[in-house]
Amino acid sequence: MSTSPAPRPRTDLRTMPRYVPGRPAVGDPLYKLSSNENPYPPLPSVTDAVRAELDQFNRYPDPASTRLVTELATTLGVPAEHIVPGTGSVGVTKDLVRATAGEGDEVLYAWRSFEAYPLITWAAGAASVQVPLRDEAHDLDAMADAVTARTRLVFVCNPNNPTGTVVCRAALERFLDRVPQDVLVVFDEAYREFVQDPEVPDGMALHLGRPNVAVLRTFSKAYGLARLRVGYAVAHPPVAEALRAIAVPFGVSGPAQAAAVASLAAGPELAERVRAVTGERRRVCDALRGSGWTVPPSEANFLWLRLGEATEAFTAACEDEGLMVRPYPREGVRVTVGEPAANDRFLKVAEGWRDSGARA
Ligand code: PMP
């Protein structure tokens, strides 16, 4: 056995929380309902924009994503200097935490929520404070109670991944009034485009009126650009400047910038697709409830089934039918709303599960 010295990763990496990606599609025929992706293929106008980038791979992209930032500022009605694109919104999330929290600081969020929060917090050297969901939704009063002098950042995932539940305007305003001004509150609105409930506030409006509010959005979900990795933060200048300072240089690729700009220009076509998904969301949710399932109201492109100990068995039943869903061991299953044929197949499995007497 060699005893020669060798570079070694930090030993505490062994304790780091891990990101579990949605299971890949295997077998045939099959549907991937495990990563909250858009089931529709890219729009021709978007693939054309990406194709136009192909003969420039030898050059770095625009490091400031200038065109994208300008178009987003117009679309969102916020100043361009507030917008910071990154490698998916998870890339910007990582930078937000790194820019605001470190050793001795706390990052607060509901749990269960987006599973990147604990690992990003861990990597920044900060401590996670997790406040349990109540009735599958954020418990904002308990979260405000959990803020301490060490809290630097609070995530509010709206709609929440994986439960799909939302927090509404009045409760959010009340919460923001209780959080100290020097704590950054980050609304993770990865699924904002699927929200239909008028009581759910647009994070942009809250951001404009409150210097300690930032918003995260992505092109991965409603815009269908998951593989290109582009999202953004909207934050007031001190935070936005810090994000630009610590971002990976040239992080957002040229094809990703071009596709995002083309997608913003295709708003009505994409809105049509979002309407198809929300229509299917309603149909699947109604059918599940009709066959005895308890399904929390979802404003996202997925539904949550709390299965407890039956999670693994239900996941296996889905996989047997060529359906990849996202299990959270001993908690439940998140299923993405897909194309109608995928949803039909999922309903068949879920209804059969109830009929067979299995407990949800
Ligand atoms: N936030 C939430 C709540 C998410 O569910 C996801 C994707 N699963 C993201 C952020 C990150 O998306 P992306 O990095 O693809 O933009």
Choice from 20, 23, 96, 188 to test ligand 1 binding pocket (greatest atom count within 8 A of CB): 188
Angle of helix 88-100 relative to helix 237-246, nearest 10 degrees, comes to: 110
Return d(Cα 354, Cα 360) in angstroms, integer: 8
> Tokens 């089934």 identify what position?
305
Regions of the chain with pLDDT less than 50: 359-360
Return d(Cα 23, Cα 32) in angstroms, integer: 8
Of the chain, the end-to-end C-alpha distance in Å amounts to: 52
Cα-to-chain-centroid distance, residue 113: 9
Q: Cβ(36) to ligand 1 under 6 A?
A: yes
> pLDDT digit string (tens) for 267-293?
999 999 999 999 999 999 999 999 999
Label the pairing between strands 127-132 and 106-111. parallel
Residues β-bridged to residue 232: 85, 217
Q: Cβ(188) to ligand 1 under 6 A?
A: yes
Return d(Cα 336, Cα 284) in angstroms, integer: 11
Return d(Cα 212, Cα 221) in angstroms, integer: 26
Return d(Cα 35, Cα 21) in angstroms, integer: 7
Return d(Cα 120, Cα 168) in angstroms, integer: 26
Q: Element (H or E) spanning 155, and its range? A: strand 151-157
Choice from 138, 220, 227, 228 to test ligand 1 binding pocket (greatest atom count within 8 A of CB): 220
Please spell the DSSP secondary structure of 214-283, one letter per residue. Answer: EEEEESSSTT--GGG--EEEE--HHHHHHHHHHSPTT-S-HHHHHHHHHHHHTHHHHHHHHHHHHHHHHH
- pLDDT at position 25, please? 61
pTM score, whole prediction? 0.94
Instruction: Kindly give the distance from the C-alpha atom of residue 220 to the centroid of ligand 1, in angstroms, as a whole number.
Output: 7
* CA nearest neighbour of 154 among 210, 192, 229: 210
Instruction: Kindly give the distance from the C-alpha atom of residue 218 to the centroid of ligand 1, in angstroms, as a whole number.
Output: 7
- pLDDT at position 29, please? 60
- pLDDT at position 360, please? 45
Instruction: Kindly give the distance from the C-alpha atom of residue 89 to the centroid of ligand 1, in angstroms, as a whole number.
Output: 6
Instruction: Kindly give the distance from the C-alpha atom of residue 90 to the centroid of ligand 1, in angstroms, as a whole number.
Output: 6
Instruction: Kindly give the distance from the C-alpha atom of residue 166 to the centroid of ligand 1, in angstroms, as a whole number.
Output: 16
Return d(Cα 276, Cα 298) in angstroms, integer: 15
Instruction: Kindly give the distance from the C-alpha atom of residue 191 to the centroid of ligand 1, in angstroms, as a whole number.
Output: 8
Here the tokens at position 41 are 């293929």
> pLDDT digit string (tens) for 207-225?
999 999 999 999 999 999 9
Atom of ligand 1 nearest to the CA of 89: 16
Here the tokens at position 225 are 């650009």
In the Cβ-directed half-sphere of 118, how many Cα atoms lie within 13 Å?
15
Q: Cβ(161) to ligand 1 under 6 A?
A: yes
